[in-house]
């Protein structure tokens, strides 16, 4: 600890005053003894200033988010967020990969809600290609179902880790158990639990396998039961209410000034949701509500995220009914110069192309094999231009800006990640509050640094 002071005097039993050689500013350096004696001496000198590194509590603070707090006793007088520790250069790397390969990069940004990056990116590519209306209906409904499942999984991570940070381990166990249902469905449909790269320009990689809709229905049944448990553990818990109500306040003017969206914005009473404001993937045809609150605190954000999980289930149930009614069909655009060629069954190991597909392209004609090779290795060309697309991410509005120079790779790819914007609110939410409330405020923002440091 270093406490700046203008006083200079002789050494004491618990420390001594020294001049910093570089700045000439006197500092009090603790050299042992009882803490109460050190604190008393520091208080006598006056002008105390303590700066500490906060954490780790939230998963984002385990080495990838630095919270620097200036404190006066238990009161936070200044809070700053340091980012950049998880920077992977995803946006720059996408400039050196084909348009389809870009999916495997952007899905690794916000790894808790990866399906949304895939969807936003592919919608932007399709907009540049001019094939938005050519995407098969079945592929669009599958996209909606997958996004809403991912929204539930993301909110559950927020609620579960938030409970754990406050010492309620049971909340974490119940929350992650519910999320596991979603990950199992993802593994069944895509072959992977996370970083799925399932949504591709033109549609999705493959149709849902037999039994997938039943698996989704079973998962919903289990999740509804777990949601009820979470409500009992969180909403009916007076200790949790005392820790969250009135904490991390961020009103509508602050949200508008900082460009904050998602549950944090809706907790101020503004029902802004891209799915309603600028519908995509046919969201205007689904029946669901946008829950809001006017309390603008951490407690209201917990309630809203739970309610959003129920609304997502409503959408998923409608999507399942539509998929059941329409039956098997194409899930990729018909244009073979764009459509990814692996449209048959995947291999028995769940990876790569099936042997039937390999036999087909190698046995049909040399031209088919050459086309397959060029489409996979070189990729398709996208007309020169730029496009911007927004989707409603679990943490807010996710914007995707793509620029094409007419080649097989993006000239520029940029993502407006909601975690990046929302993290600006740390100082406004924490300054003037208690150190313990910093944990609550950061958790209510639900930041994922993979999206911040892309």
Residues 283-292: tens digit of each pLDDT = 999 999 999 9
pLDDT value for 75: 87
Residue 354 confidence (pLDDT) above 70: no
pLDDT grade, residue 339 (50/70/90)?
confident
CA dist., res. 322 & res. 317, Å (int): 9
The answer to whether 409 and 98 have CB atoms below 8 angstroms apart is yes
Pick 373 or 192 by higher pLDDT. Answer: 192
Query: Cβ–Cβ contacts within 10 Å for residue 364, how many?
Result: 11
pLDDT surpassing 60 at residue 347: no
Q: How far is CA 120 from CA 116, 199, 209, 309, in A?
A: 6, 10, 24, 21
Give the model confidence (pLDDT) of 50-108 as tens digits: 778 877 766 666 678 888 888 888 888 888 888 888 888 999 999 999 999 999 999 99
Most confident of 154-158, 345-349, 352-356: 154-158
Chain segment 379-393, per-residue pLDDT in tens: 899 999 999 999 999
CATH class of segment(s) 90-338+380-452: mainly alpha
pLDDT > 90 in the chain, percent: 56
Residues of the chain with CATH 1.10.645.10: 90-338+380-452
316-327 pLDDT per residue, tens: 999 999 999 998
CA geometry: angle at 186 spanning 184 and 192, to 5°? 95
Instruction: State the chain's mean pLDDT as an integer.
Output: 85
Asked whether the predicted pLDDT for residue 116 surpasses 70, the reply is yes
- Collect all residues with Cβ–Cβ distance below 8 Å to 385 and sequence separation of at least 6: 128, 403, 404
For the cut 80, the answer to whether the pLDDT of residue 15 exceeds it is no
- pTM for the whole structure: 0.84
**Rounded to an integer, what distance in angstroms lies between the CA atom of residue 298 and that of residue 247?**
6
- pLDDT band of 10, cuts 50, 70, 90: very low
Q: Give the residue carrying structure tokens 């980012």.
A: 83
């Amino acid at each position: 600890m270093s406490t700046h002071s203008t006083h200079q005097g002789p050494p004491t039993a618990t420390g001594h005053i020294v001049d910093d050689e570089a700045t000439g500013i006197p500092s009090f350096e603790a050299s042992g003894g009882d803490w109460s004696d050190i604190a008393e001496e520091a208080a006598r000198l006056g002008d105390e200033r303590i700066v500490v590194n906060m954490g780790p509590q939230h998963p984002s603070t385990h080495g990838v988010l630095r919270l620097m707090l200036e404190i006066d006793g238990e009161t936070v007088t200044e809070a700053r967020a340091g980012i950049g520790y998880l920077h992977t250069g995803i946006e720059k790397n996408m400039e050196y990969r084909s348009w389809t390969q870009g999916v495997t990069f952007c899905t690794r940004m916000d790894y808790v809600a990866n399906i949304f990056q895939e969807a936003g990116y592919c919608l932007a590519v399709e907009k540049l290609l001019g094939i938005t209306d050519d995407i098969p209906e079945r592929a669009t409904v599958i996209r909606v179902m997958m996004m809403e499942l991912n929204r539930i999984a993301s909110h559950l991570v927020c609620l579960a880790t938030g409970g754990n940070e406050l010492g309620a381990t049971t909340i974490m166990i119940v929350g992650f158990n519910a999320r596991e249902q979603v990950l199992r469905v993802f593994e069944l449909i895509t072959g992977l639990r996370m970083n799925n790269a399932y949504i591709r320009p033109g549609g999705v990689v493959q149709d849902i396998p037999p039994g997938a809709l039943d698996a989704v229905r079973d998962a919903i049944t289990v999740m509804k039961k777990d949601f009820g448990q979470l409500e009992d553990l969180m909403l009916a818990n007076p200790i949790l209410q005392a820790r969250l109500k009135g904490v991390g306040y961020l009103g509508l003017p602050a949200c508008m000034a900082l460009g904050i969206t998602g549950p944090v914005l809706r907790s101020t009473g503004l029902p802004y949701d891209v799915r309603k404001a600028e519908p995509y993937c046919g969201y205007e045809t689904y029946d669901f509500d946008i829950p809001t609150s006017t309390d603008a605190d951490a407690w209201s954000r917990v309630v809203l995220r739970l309610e959003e999980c129920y609304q997502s289930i409503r959408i998923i149930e409608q999507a399942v009914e539509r998929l059941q009614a329409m039956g098997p069909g194409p899930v990729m655009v018909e244009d073979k110069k764009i459509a990814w060629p692996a449209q048959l069954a995947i291999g028995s190991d769940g990876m790569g192309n099936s042997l039937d597909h390999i036999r087909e392209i190698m046995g049909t004609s040399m031209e088919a094999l050459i086309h397959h090779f060029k489409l996979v290795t070189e990729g398709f060309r996208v007309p020169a231009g730029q496009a911007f697309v927004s989707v409603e991410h679990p943490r807010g509005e996710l914007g995707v800006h793509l620029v094409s120079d007419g080649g097989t790779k993006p000239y520029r790819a940029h993502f407006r990640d909601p975690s990046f914007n929302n993290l600006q609110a740390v100082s406004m939410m924490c300054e003037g509050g208690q150190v313990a409330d910093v944990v609550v405020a950061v958790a209510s923002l639900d930041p994922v640094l993979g999206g911040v440091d892309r």
